[in-house]
Structure 1
Amino acid sequence: MKKFTTIFFLALLSAASAFGQGAAGIDAGASELQTYIDPVGNLILIVGAIVGLIGGVRVYIKWNSGDQDTQKAVMGWMGSCVFLMVVGVVIKAFFGV
């Protein structure tokens, strides 16, 4: 019985110390995550700009060749660019950077 009580108290103390480290670990993880948010948001904005340039060139080529589907291409490329730009801004706003 004495052995069981000793093991129980040791397990209880180790669990309490794990919870104490857990809060500090969560705080450290949150602060480290915030250091990555700004570069990721900027990367998404850069990818959106590159997609916009490529889309503009493709729509221009379609327009010059007389394709009837130009408006559909413009809406598709513009929608993807706007989506990428909004995602970059929302990520920064969501994490408060």
Structure 2
Amino acid sequence: MTKKHFLSAAALLLAASSAFAQGNGMAGITEATGMVTSYFEPATKLIYAIGAVVGLIGGVKVYGKFSSGDPDTSKTAASWFGACIFLIVAATILRSFFL
């Protein structure tokens, strides 16, 4: 074989192998997408549950501060309420963005 035939055969082999690799890559990407989207529903519910627990803990802390007459009660209430709202909004936006 001449050098020209050898280079042509190598180029053809590389083109064919990259075409096969693209098909397998698309199947892998499709499978990974399906796996990731299947986790969003349980993850969203988990984040909502964490938000509920954070809300209950925050309510108890704010009640304790309010009962003791602490002047810092409004700042504490705003921070705990903001954390709960952030968790709920973040879960909802991520779910709507990826699904």
Do both share a fold (TM > 0.5)?
Answer: yes
Counterparts of 2:45 and 2:97 in 1: how far apart (Å)?
Answer: 14
C-alpha RMSD over aligned residues: 1.2
Aligned to 2:98: 95
Question: Number of matched residues?
Answer: 96
Q: Does 1:23 align with 2:44?
A: no
Match of 1:34 among 33, 37, 46: 37
- TM normalised by structure 2 equals 0.89
In the alignment, residue 38 of structure 2 is paired with which amino acid? T
Q: Mark the runs of 5 or more structure 1 residues left unpaired by the alignment.
A: none
Q: Mark the runs of 5 or more structure 2 residues left unpaired by the alignment.
A: none
| Aligned-pair identity (%) | 41
Return structure 1 stretches of 4+ with deviation > 4 angstroms: none
Highest relative contact order (Cα 8 Å, sep 6+), 1 or 2?
1
Match of 1:49 among 52, 65, 78: 52
| Deviation of 1:43 (Å) | 0.9
Select the structure of larger CA radius of gyration. Answer: 2
Match of 1:7 among 10, 13, 26: 10
- TM normalised by structure 1 equals 0.90
What whole-Å deviation, never above 9, does each CA across 1:27-79 have from its counterpart, x for those lacking one?
Answer: 11111111011011111111111111111111111111110010111110000
